[in-house]
Structure 1
Amino acid sequence: MSNWIKVKLGDIVELKRESYQPKPDEVLPYIGLEHIGQGTLRLISVGKSNEVTSTKSYFSKGDILFGKLRPYFRKVVRPKFNGVCSTDILVLTSKNPRKFNQTFLFYLMASQEMIDLATASSSGTKMPRADWKVLQNLEISIPEDVNEQERIGKILETIDDKIDINIRMNKTLEEMAMTLYKHWFVDFGPFQDGEFVESELGMIPKGWDVREVGEVIDLAYGKALKQSDRKEGDIPVYGSSGIVGYHNESLVSGPGVVVGRKGNVGTVMWVDEDFYPIDTTFYVVTKKGINLFYVYMVLKNKNLSSLGSDSAVPGINRNIVYKQKILIPPEHVLSRFEHYISDFFKKITFNIGENKHLQSVRDYLLPRLLSGEIDVSQAEKQVEEVL
């Protein structure tokens, strides 16, 4: 590692401190910690600046956003747009992009070593926060050649770009599945030539039924699982925002459906594998053999978020959901629908599995590239083979 140099973090990374006061008539993209995936290095969603009130921080496209509250959650992202973020997020950028590559610095800040150092530097017991005054004095090793930094950053970014492509593809597949659902069960496209009858939901094909949600499914409570109680494993832990970590035991056998109960109220997520839903969620238990694909599409189409309360901590009462009326087609219709819809979900499942593998490859390479343990040319070939 003769071409690597030791530097202080504060000599290569700059903390940006430009404040922003939200205005009711101005809407900017807003990122809070709740919008950043835990350990995934990507955004779950994006909020709006006019929906928050306290002082925020500006960030620019390509800046590194590093969650300083409970840094062990590894909430680090690099947005591709300008906006504002929570003051519990450090906004970081290269002090000199010609000497210190920004992409390389992003993966440096997202490395488990940096997360561990930030956690060790945290102050506060219940709400530990990383201290930039401590972090900026950390001594680290980096390649002296900025081109070498760029190559390392590119290797890791290429993997993340493929993950993003799969995520976008899955979103498109979900939209296609929903379009098919609406064509069949909202517009009744394939059934227009048949007889229709009046119902509580309007005119529906004869022989179809209307039931309350509570007649066909139960919404079971997820179970609390503190971060400190999670043991190393590959079982995804689901909160209302999606995967929030992993554990070595499952609570529910997949496939399954998770519904946000607290926080991201009413979010509906399909899970194809065994999983552990925590107490901010419900998980669906079907009755009378009702088709799970159909239940998922029905709940997605119901806009459950509109049923949430307006309390300080938004939540959803399952008894309100149970009273919602839904359409129940005959079994042979549901079987045909499952036949068509399953192809979409097979592809979604494949992409999810590929992303898990890609993320594990990235997280394997990341510390080894940052330490010089793996030759850059060797890593480039390895990524070419994976992709």
Structure 2
Amino acid sequence: MTRSVAAIKEFAIGIFDGPHATPKPSEDGPIFLGIKNVTDEGRLDFSEIRHVSEADFAKWTRRVKPQQGDIVFSYEATLHRYACIPDGFEGCLGRRMALVRPDLRKVDPRFLLYFFLSPIWRAKMEAITITGATVNRIPLTTVPNTEVSLPGLREQVAIAEILSAYDELIENNRRRIALLEEAARMLYREWFVHFRFPGHEHVKVFDGLPAGWERCKVGDLLELRYGKALKEENRTGGPIPVYGSSGIIGTHQTALAAGPTIVVGRKGNVGSVYWSPVDLWPIDTAYFVPREQADLWLYLALPSAGFQNTDSGVPGLNRNFAYSRNLIRPPESLRRTFIDTVEPMFAQRTALENYNKKLAQGRDLLLPRLMNGDIAV
């Protein structure tokens, strides 16, 4: 089919950047959309939100207010992050964020998002990236004049339908994974916080604890071992997940630690807790628990230990501080019963995660071929 070759500005109503500053902190209000809210896979992530007050919102949207169908992207520091603004979004662009407003008569927003995620566009952006002493930057004055080759609107819609089918399956599986995790956490709270474990009616309570339970320190249960630095350019890609304090941040060919095990955030996302069912490489912003000490009860118990140090003068999570935190330890038999109960949930979670990896691989194989026109639709 015929493709149109033109500068990206010919397919867009406009390309706008956000404010070059940060608003005063606000407890609520519209979203201040930052780089951390956009994933590498092209999704918006609102697990951590910064707000802008209603009073300041007009100031921060004076240049542009994101609307449904806009493609937001990062142009400085962390590059190559793109996402499509959904219906009902109320927020403004954060620092180092910009957006493309598609001309709907010429381009389908979903297609444009996939195009921006493709190797074709990435190569064009890398060719114009300015390498700085501290951060890299895509010059926004050059982006509008970058030439692209796009198919007709009907073909764009067809391509977007094919690729979005993969992403919808992936997103459905993510929701199922979240439900499985929440079910396990609810069961943990029922048994070990509210003390409504199997047979609790027949167990006496002494000093606020069921008989056979005891108060202990985190240091009595585990050792926190340091992760090891592994820069992004040194990650070879492969079957081994690389963990930081914000979760999986890449892959590698070799492992530093054996799984299944627990990862605890040391710097950055301090006190975060992750379960890795497989061998892994935790980097130096995280601790890991030796495999022989890690189990699902401990994974679900650790968030209640309160690792978030409130002393702003102390960066990161100190091991001795972590070891000093309190936990309640149930009898070993009950701990084992709980693990046996939740293990099928986590096995299903792992199966869904593996399925999502295959779906993502399939989508990523199709993406460049569809964008190049190698596959007719």
Indicate conservation of the 8 Å contact 1:291/1:334, yes or no: no
Shift in CA distance, 18/216, structure 1 to aligned 2, threshold 3 Å: closer
Whole-Å separation in 1 of the counterparts to 2:27 and 2:221: 44
Equivalent position of 1:219 in the other structure: 224
Alpha carbons 2:76, 2:96 under 8 Å: kept: yes
- Alpha-carbon distance change, 82 to 151 in structure 1, aligned in 2, over 3 angstroms: farther
Deviations 1:147-179 (A, max 9, x none): 110111121112111111111111111111011
The reply to whether residue 126 of structure 1 matches residue 134 of structure 2 is yes
Distance 1:237 1:290, change over 3 A: closer
Using the TM superposition, give the Cα deviation of residue 127 of structure 1 relative to its aligned residue in structure 2, in angstroms.
Answer: 0.4
Q: TM-score, normalised by structure 2?
A: 0.88
- Asked whether the 8 Å contact 1:240–1:264 carries over to 2, the reply is yes
Determine if contact 1:27/1:48 at 8 Å carries over to the other structure.
no
Q: For 1:132, what is the secondary structure of its paired residue?
A: coil
Q: CA RMSD of the aligned region, Å?
A: 2.4
**What whole-Å deviation, never above 9, does each CA across 1:84-109 have from its counterpart, x for those lacking one?**
23221221220x20221111111111
**Residue-by-residue CA offset, 1:49-93 (whole Å, 9 max, x unaligned):** 249x99866422332121212455x32222422312322122122
Cα shift at 1:296 = 0.5
Check conservation: 1:240, 1:281, Cα contact below 8 A.
Answer: yes
Identical pairs, percent:
33
Map residues 271-290 of structure 1 onto 2, 5 A cutoff: 271-285=276-290, 290=293
> What is the number of equivalent residue pairs in this alignment?
362
CA distance, structure 1, for counterparts of residue 28 and residue 211 of structure 2: 51
Shift, 1:250, TM fit: 1.5
**What SS class does the counterpart of residue 185 from structure 2 fall into?**
helix
Q: Unaligned regions of 5+ residues in structure 2, if any? A: none
Partner of 1:27: 29
Task: State the partner residue of 2:170.
Answer: 163
How far has the Cα of 1:235 moved from its partner?
1.8
Contact kept, 8 Å, 1:31 with 1:84, in 2: the verdict is yes
1:243-273, Cα deviation, whole Å (9 max, x unpaired): 2122211112221211222222222111112
8 Å contact 2:31–2:91 — kept in the other structure?
yes
- Aligned mates of 2:94, 2:23 — CA distance in 1: 11
Contact 1:9 1:136 in 2 (8 A): yes
Q: Secondary structure at the match of 1:105?
A: helix
- Does the 8 Å contact 1:71/1:115 carry over to 2? no
Q: CA deviation at 1:297?
A: 0.5
Alignment equivalent of 1:100, drawn from 101, 107, 132: 107
More divergent stretch after superposition (2-11 vs 331-340): 2-11
Residue 49 (structure 2) aligns with:
47
User: Is the 8 Å Cα contact of residues 218 and 326 (structure 2) preserved in structure 1?
Assistant: yes
The change in CA–CA distance for 1:231 and 1:133 in structure 2 (over 3 A counts) is same
Q: Show the 5 A alignment for 1:1-387.
A: 2-13=1-12, 14-17=14-17, 19=19, 22=23, 24=26, 27-37=29-39, 39-44=40-45, 45-50=47-52, 58-70=65-77, 74-80=80-86, 81-94=89-102, 96-123=103-130, 124-143=132-151, 145-189=152-196, 190=198, 191-198=200-207, 203-285=208-290, 290=293, 292-305=295-308, 307-311=309-313, 315-376=316-377
State the secondary structure of the residue aligned to 1:47.
coil
Post-superposition offset of 1:315: 2.1
Checking the alignment, whether the CA contact within 8 Å between 1:66 and 1:109 is kept in structure 2 is no
- 1:66–1:90 Cα contact (<8 Å) kept: yes
Check whether the contact 2:263–2:282 (CA below 8 A) recurs between aligned residues.
yes
8 Å Cα contact 1:256-1:284 kept in structure 2: yes
